[in-house]
Amino acid sequence: MIDWLFSPIDPLRMHEVGYAISWHARLMVLGWGVLAPLAVLMARYFKVLPGQDWPQELDNQLWWRSHWIGHSAVFLLSGVGFVLVLPTDFSAMSLHNWLGYGLLFGVVVQVALGLFRGNKGGPTAPQADGSLRGHHYDMTPWRRTFEALHKSLGYCLLILAALTILLGLWKANGPVWMWLALIVWWAGLIVASIVMQRRGMAIDTYQAIWGVDPAHPGNTAKQPGWGVRRITQGDTRVRRD
């Protein structure tokens, strides 16, 4: 069993990679295979924490910090991983390489979207003159566009990352244990996501921050997205256990 786990996935090829490629692989798997999906799960399912007295206790920041710190780490790891394998012959690039460039482009777009998402506003971040106006609080057209682009691109990048990692493992003829570890990890994340989705833990970001009072302009805006719960003022039950 041990010999099988440490044998290359393709027994007809050798598993021999140099220092730069091995560290490139470790950094990219850590970033895109581990941190990126965790940061997405935190943002989707932990806007209201277990035990949080919501909606009396609002604007839990754990999901936000986890999301931006996690993806900042992904951005840095991607940069270092790219430098380790800077191409010298573009004609020899494989599908794995081209998809990797697609990931790098995507993460740069995500960072740019995050930087230009607009201001928050609302009771927790009023303007200097006391006004509650803000792109997020008012759910302006730009804020709605940002959320649609950011979420859609984010999920697409996760799928692209998984495919790129698997192609990289095949190209390097990674040992069996690496394939199994990734499959088990990703399967665990998928199962956890299904369980949390069924428990109704995907709470509308706007309501997680400002509550369910219809006086807040975003609570009368368009439904926030697939599978996201928008709770009415008379039904504030949230599964927290």
Are residues 102 and 160 in contact, defined by beta-carbon separation less than 8 angstroms? Answer: yes
Specify the pTM: 0.89
Position 238 scores a pLDDT of 55
> What does the DSSP 8-state code read for residue 9?
S
Strand partners, 229: 203
- 16-220 in CATH: which number? 1.20.120
Grouping H, G, I as helix, E, B as strand and the rest as coil, residue 8 is: strand
Position 141 scores a pLDDT of 94
Position 235 scores a pLDDT of 64
Position 87 scores a pLDDT of 77
Position 237 scores a pLDDT of 58
Grouping H, G, I as helix, E, B as strand and the rest as coil, residue 174 is: coil
As given in the structure block, the two tokens for residue 229 are 């719960």
Residue 224: asked if its preceding bond is cis (omega within 30°), the reply is no
As given in the structure block, the two tokens for residue 189 are 């994340």
Position 221 scores a pLDDT of 82
In whole angstroms, give the CA distance from residue 225 to residue 44.
11
Position 240 scores a pLDDT of 47
Grouping H, G, I as helix, E, B as strand and the rest as coil, residue 175 is: strand
Going residue by residue through the chain, which has 241 residues, state the pLDDT in tens, using 9 for 90 and above. 788 888 888 888 887 788 899 999 999 999 999 999 999 999 999 999 999 999 899 999 999 999 999 999 999 999 999 999 987 777 778 999 999 999 999 999 999 999 999 999 999 888 888 899 999 999 999 999 999 999 999 999 999 999 999 999 999 999 999 999 999 999 999 999 999 999 999 999 999 999 999 999 999 888 778 899 988 766 655 544 4
